[in-house]
Amino acid sequence: MTLAVDNQSTTPKGTMSGGLPIFYSDGSRTAYDRGASTAQNWASSRTDALNAFIRLEHYFNANWQLTANYVYGDNDLDYDVFWVKGEPDPINNTGMMPGSINYIDANRTQDTYEVELNGRFNWLGQSHQLLFGYNTQEQQFSTPYYASQQSDYIIGDFTDSSYSIAKPNWQSEAAYGSYGTTKQDALYVAAQLNITDALSLIVGSRLNQWQTNQDNFGRIHDYKISDELTNYFGATYELTQSWALYANYTDIFTPQSRVDKNGNYLSPIEGKNYELGIKASVLDERLDISLSGFKIYQDNVGEYTGDTIAETLQAIYKPINGTLTQGYELEINGKLTYNWNAYFGYTHSKGEKPDNAVLNTTNPNDQFKLFTSYQLSGALDNLKLGGGYRWQSNSYDEVKNPVYGAVEVNQPSYGIASLMANYQMNEQLSVSLNIDNLFDKHYYSQIGFYNQYRYGKPRSFSLQLKYSL
């Protein structure tokens, strides 16, 4: 039996909802310092997350095993929201409007059960694997919004240190919110069939059911999807003991919570995923290498329209059919020496609509990640040092300029470096130091959504003391 319990709480102050305005009212671009914020000191998003996991295992014999997992999650959010919108005056930085000034008292619980029977059997002179499973997940959520008792807010110059708005008194009854349950059930079966010593086939099917019953900002959603079958097919051919070719096909079926202009949920994303690649295990199987190309065809992909529903401020999406996302991935992961670990990953991906226009322009086409760590030896054998670097290419979004209409805003390419050190004091106790954004790079973590932008986190230091039983 395996049991794990985790509880985390955060109480940040001065939480900025949304971001900084991209444009002034005359259509020119803003250029705020990274420390600028539209938030008030009382705005905060306090969270409390409890997660528990239990796993039971039973071995019938050397070939067959039954496992049962249960995962419980309970997440609370107390959020004093202060969000402003619009474009300020270029001279005095005033004139923005209240967007959402509310108190949110949210709770979400989730119960997940999973049972799997897996084992090996012999057939036609080869050993094969078989898996049967059942998974059920239920979420219950309550997200009431309490409005301010005050309505005549005047938004001043948020860059002026003397500017402040007093914390509101909240209404005693929720103005609106989102309440309900969502349940998913799935039966699945998978098999790995070793046709020859070199050729293996993997086949699988999953029967899905999905149901939601909720009141989403006053709109009732009773939605059920029954007996949706998704399939998986794969093949692996070993060229040598170290190198192998592989190919696979996967059905895509993903319910989504994005809404259209009428507040209705978009239909589930449906599609097909094709992948072809080569993989290897080298250096005495210490280092894994894989290179693959993929094509993903999807319908009902949500695209942000740039508009919101006036009553609820929900972002409006429209479904796009016939999309194609294609690209390739390279991954290298493992031990270069017995003390030296490294990971390198590079992804190139480009999405297109049926008219060849770019799909999801806010997603960068190219990304890579590099991380390495080294365990020292001798008198310092309890010390591990490491560092990493992540980079992404440029991206952009189309937004509404108050003077010129639809224009593009760009997120230039950027890279972020990090360092870490970990010292194992004894078998139970360790201490670690992490430095993120080592060179204090200025970049956007988000730009375009709601005609606003947010800067990424500046250089940060964290010190962690960990004790294991």
**CA 436 from centroid of its chain's CA atoms:** 19
Q: Read off the pLDDT of each residue in 145-173 and give the average, rounded to a whole number.
A: 92
Q: Is 227 left (phi over 0), alpha (psi -120 to 50) or beta?
A: left
Q: Which residues are CB-contacts of 125 (< 8 A; sequence separation ≥ 6)?
A: none
What pLDDT sits at residue 335? 96
pLDDT range class, residue 307, cuts 50, 70, 90 = confident
DSSP state at residue 356: S
Residue 219's pLDDT is 84
**In the chain, where are the structural domains located?**
1-116+136-174
What's the whole-number mean pLDDT along residues 72-99? 95
How sure is the predictor about 467, in pLDDT bands with cuts at 50, 70 and 90?
confident
Q: Give the model's pLDDT for residue 13.
A: 86
CA-to-CA distance for 84 and 80, rounded, in angstroms? Answer: 13
Amino acid 222: pLDDT: 87
pLDDT at 131 over 90: yes
Mean pLDDT along residues 122-146: 96
d(CA 105, CA 216): 15
Strand, helix or coil at 378?
helix
- The confidence score (pLDDT) of residue 126 equals 93
pLDDT, mean of residues 54-77:
97
pLDDT for 306 equals: 82
pLDDT per residue as tens digits for the range 33-47: 999 999 999 999 999
Across the chain, mean pLDDT equals 94
The reported pTM is 0.88
Q: Are 98 and 86 in contact (CB under 8 A)?
A: no
Exposed, middle or buried by CB within 10 Å (0-12, 13-18, 19+), for 292? middle
Q: For the segment 227-268, what is each residue's pLDDT rounded down to a tens digit?
A: 999 999 999 999 999 999 999 999 999 999 899 998 888 999
pLDDT bracket for residue 102 (50, 70, 90): very high
